[in-house]
Amino acid sequence: MSIALLPDLLISQIAAGEVIERPAAALKELVENSIDAGATHIRVDLEEGGVKLLRVTDDGGGIPADELPLALARHATSKIGNLSDLESVASLGFRGEALASIAAVSRLTLTSRTAHAAHAWQIMAQDGELGTPEPASLQTGTVIEMRDLFFNTPARRKFLKTPATEYAHCEEALRRLALARPEIGFELRNGARIVWRVEPEDAATRIHHLMGDEFRAAARPVEHRAEHLRLSGMAALPAYSRAGRDAQYLFVNGRFVRDKLLTHAVREAYRDILHHQRHPAFALFLELPFEGVDVNCHPAKTEVRFRESQGIHRFVFHTLVRVLADRADPMNAPMDAVFTPAAAVLSHAWPSGKPTQTAFALRDSTTATYRPTLPATPMGGALPFDSAWATGVTREPASEEVPPLGYALAQLGGRYILAENAHGLIIVDMHAAHERILYERLKATQGQTQQALLIPIVFAATATEMATAAEHQTALNEMSVEMHAVSPTHLAIRSLPSEIAHGNSETLARAVLHDLAQTGHSALVTAERNTLLSTLACHGAVRANHRLSVSEMNTLLRDMERTERADQCNHGRPTWQQISLSDIDKFFMQGQ
């Protein structure tokens, strides 16, 4: 083939492949155009996940009739004129390729009317050919209809997923946009059905509407400014954590981003209260001067580059640590519960342990004055509160003789310890509590309590495990783990931290190597070390169905009382619950 310039349609179709890979991407581009056009209400209609139809209707400024063909031309934009504009770009779109791309791979109809026009104009595009503008009827604003996406590029069409999946991507794309723009009303329709509709509102209300009641119940407001940086939004306490990353929204100057640096800062802030296999939930908005961030480094614009990345990392991390350290939170339900009215205790603890709406309402109204100082326990250990708790009202002290978590009665279902204290029944999640205690101990004693194993544990390792062990000797030593290759295919563990020397050493070693392989470097920062310690603790802790004697159970209860933060496990769930005698009385008085 001889060299030839590509035809225009083909150029647009190639470009479209990068920008418009699925209906959700088109939705994002079109809605961003509406936002840039100053719309106050934006409506999105979908059919078959946006593949058959995606229509975006706005009440923005509209496009003048003579500019309609230009709007659909490639590299035509009203938003930047030179390179310095690019540096300080405040509008969302700026490459001037979205409409041209969509027009190249679908049947597109653009209808628009500016405020002073006598009527609207409409133009259609298909296969790179523009029709002639015709008069149409419409209020001020713009309607863009995209039909039959990829009808003329069947290869691309094959990559589309089911309508249900494409629909889900569209909804998610609109949710991101709507979270970022609470001052704009949004409506999403799927076929004839209104899926959701939000009016212009404040940011917190918008987050509540789009992330739901459960998130909201566990969420703490974030609002912090330092110099030219601002972080705002909501971050959920671990009571509302997720198995996936589906409730994580980060915005930089109003744009949704997926950014390693920010995600890392957030995860680190959650590190100590959330197990690394759980994902925190949040909607966070970072604002900084436009010069401080480059949004131009990726066409889909979900990646950004910060000029002062370290400072931003520190700012986000410290802001969140402070928010999450606020102990007047739902996660402290068990601790508070000892002192709360019976009804609230019951709604926290029964039957699933999931905190309920009622309980939160009660808490919300009382958090301000409600920070008990606790009596020291008879054996001299204090309840696991941090010093922040030492201020505020002193409540009725617990009985002099009975320790706060009481004395063990029995083991239930191989998983729970039942104990009696001055208020009634205590139920402890044995594994979770033990894991927490080990974790805190490992953190406190790391490196100092190594115990040599009488007989080294030798196990067959994969090539990756062999390599990781060799590469991370320093990190392993820091953890008091001694592990070496004894052959090209076998590793031997020779010593472990004494706290966990009795656990299942082989699975433990594998889990640690897995974690290390992910950190990628041999010296550990605190957060990484804590991740490893929590893995060690998890594998060192008593397993379900492990029989404990009453005295072992009592030892665990006393350890909990002495351990900081023992009221919640490494995974962020409560480790124990109280059911008071009066609650139990109520079970038997019902119907009287």
Using CB under 5 A as the criterion, which residues of the chain lie in contact with Mg ion when the complex forms? 33, 93, 98
Q: Choose between 78 and 445: whose C-beta lies nearer to ligand ADP.
A: 78
d(CA 320, CA 254): 19
Q: List the single partner that 133 binds among ligand ADP, Mg ion, none, CB under 5 to 8 Å by kind.
A: none
* DSSP secondary structure, 421-449, as one string: ETTEEEEEEHHHHHHHHHHHHHHHHTTS-
What's the closest the beta carbon of residue 85 comes to ligand ADP, in angstroms? 11
d(CA 217, CA 334): 17
- Strand pairing partners for 491? 459, 485
What's the closest the beta carbon of residue 566 comes to ligand ADP, in angstroms? 54
- H helix intervals, 37-135: 68-71, 83-87, 98-105
- The DSSP code for 332 is G
d(CA 256, CA 362): 35
What's the closest the beta carbon of residue 254 comes to ligand ADP, in angstroms? 15
Amino acid at 193: R
Q: Choose between 96 and 311: whose C-beta lies nearer to ligand ADP.
A: 96
Amino acid at 326: D
Q: List the single partner that 96 binds among ligand ADP, Mg ion, none, CB under 5 to 8 Å by kind.
A: ligand ADP
What's the closest the beta carbon of residue 296 comes to ligand ADP, in angstroms? 12
Amino acid at 103: A
Q: List the single partner that 95 binds among ligand ADP, Mg ion, none, CB under 5 to 8 Å by kind.
A: ligand ADP
What's the closest the beta carbon of residue 360 comes to ligand ADP, in angstroms? 41
What's the closest the beta carbon of residue 189 comes to Mg ion, in angstroms? 22
What's the closest the beta carbon of residue 86 comes to ligand ADP, in angstroms? 12
The sign of the dihedral angle between the CA atoms of 312, 315, 321, 326 is negative
Instruction: Using alpha carbons, select from 582, 549, 586, 574 the residue that is nearest to residue 425.
Output: 582
Range in contact with ligand ADP (rule: CB under 6 A) among 32-40, 183-191, 382-390, 434-442 = 32-40
Q: Does residue 133 touch ligand ADP according to CB under 6 A?
A: no
129-130 and 416-421: which strand pairing?
unpaired
Q: List the single partner that 281 binds among ligand ADP, Mg ion, none, CB under 5 to 8 Å by kind.
A: none
Range in contact with ligand ADP (rule: CB under 6 A) among 96-104, 385-393, 421-429, 478-486 = 96-104
The mark string for 43-62 relative to ligand ADP (x by CB under 6 A, - otherwise) is ---------------x-xxx
What's the closest the beta carbon of residue 43 comes to ligand ADP, in angstroms? 12
Helix (H, G, I), strand (E, B) or coil at 256: strand
Q: List the single partner that 334 binds among Mg ion, ligand ADP, none, CB under 5 to 8 Å by kind.
A: none
- 345 neighbors 583 (Cβ within 8 angstroms): yes
What's the closest the beta carbon of residue 91 comes to Mg ion, in angstroms? 8
Rg of the chain in Å (alpha carbons): 29
- 60 neighbors 37 (Cβ within 8 angstroms): yes
Extract the tokens encoding 261: 């640096």
Q: List the single partner that 77 binds among Mg ion, ligand ADP, none, CB under 5 to 8 Å by kind.
A: ligand ADP
Q: Out of 41, 52, 79, 354, name the contact with ligand ADP by CB under 6 A.
A: 79
- H helix intervals, 140-259: 154-157, 163-180, 203-211, 213-218
Burial 307-322 (b: 16+ CB within 10 A, else e): eebeebbebbbebbbe
- 533 neighbors 443 (Cβ within 8 angstroms): yes
- 55 neighbors 44 (Cβ within 8 angstroms): yes
The angle subtended at Cα 176 by Cα 172 and Cα 182, nearest 5°, is: 135
Q: List the single partner that 185 binds among Mg ion, ligand ADP, none, CB under 5 to 8 Å by kind.
A: none
Helix (H, G, I), strand (E, B) or coil at 406: coil
Q: Out of 21, 47, 69, 78, name the contact with ligand ADP by CB under 6 A.
A: 78
Q: List the single partner that 78 binds among Mg ion, ligand ADP, none, CB under 5 to 8 Å by kind.
A: ligand ADP
Q: Choose between 93 and 372: whose C-beta lies nearer to Mg ion.
A: 93
Amino acid at 383: L
- H helix intervals, 400-549: 430-445, 463-471, 473-478, 505-519, 526-540
What's the closest the beta carbon of residue 273 comes to Mg ion, in angstroms? 41
Q: List the single partner that 187 binds among Mg ion, ligand ADP, none, CB under 5 to 8 Å by kind.
A: none
Q: Choose between 19 and 398: whose C-beta lies nearer to Mg ion.
A: 19
Helix (H, G, I), strand (E, B) or coil at 6: coil
Q: Does residue 533 touch ligand ADP according to CB under 6 A?
A: no
| Residues 165-204 contacting ligand ADP, CB under 6 A | none
Q: Out of 98, 286, 338, 512, name the contact with ligand ADP by CB under 6 A.
A: 98
Q: How many CA atoms lie within 13 A of 126 on its CB side?
A: 9
Q: Does residue 71 touch ligand ADP according to CB under 6 A?
A: yes
What's the closest the beta carbon of residue 569 comes to ligand ADP, in angstroms? 48
d(CA 27, CA 189): 13
Q: Does residue 111 touch ligand ADP according to CB under 6 A?
A: no
Q: Out of 16, 22, 94, 251, name the contact with ligand ADP by CB under 6 A.
A: 94
d(CA 108, CA 142): 13
Q: Out of 23, 27, 28, 34, name the contact with ligand ADP by CB under 6 A.
A: 34
Q: List the single partner that 582 binds among ligand ADP, Mg ion, none, CB under 5 to 8 Å by kind.
A: none
Q: Choose between 108 and 281: whose C-beta lies nearer to ligand ADP.
A: 108
What's the closest the beta carbon of residue 126 comes to Mg ion, in angstroms? 20
576-580 and 424-429: which strand pairing?
antiparallel
Q: Choose between 100 and 265: whose C-beta lies nearer to Mg ion.
A: 100
What's the closest the beta carbon of residue 150 comes to ligand ADP, in angstroms? 18
Q: Does residue 95 touch ligand ADP according to CB under 6 A?
A: yes
What's the closest the beta carbon of residue 163 comes to ligand ADP, in angstroms? 25
Helix (H) or strand (E) holding 452: strand 450-460
Considering CB under 6 A, how many residues would be counted as binding ligand ADP?
Answer: 23
| Residues 135-164 contacting ligand ADP, CB under 6 A | 142
d(CA 245, CA 247): 6
The sign of the dihedral angle between the CA atoms of 153, 154, 159, 161 is positive
Q: Choose between 79 and 157: whose C-beta lies nearer to Mg ion.
A: 79
Q: Does residue 77 touch ligand ADP according to CB under 6 A?
A: yes
Binding-site ranges for ligand ADP (CB under 6 A): 29, 33-34, 37, 58, 60-63, 71, 76-79, 93-100, 142
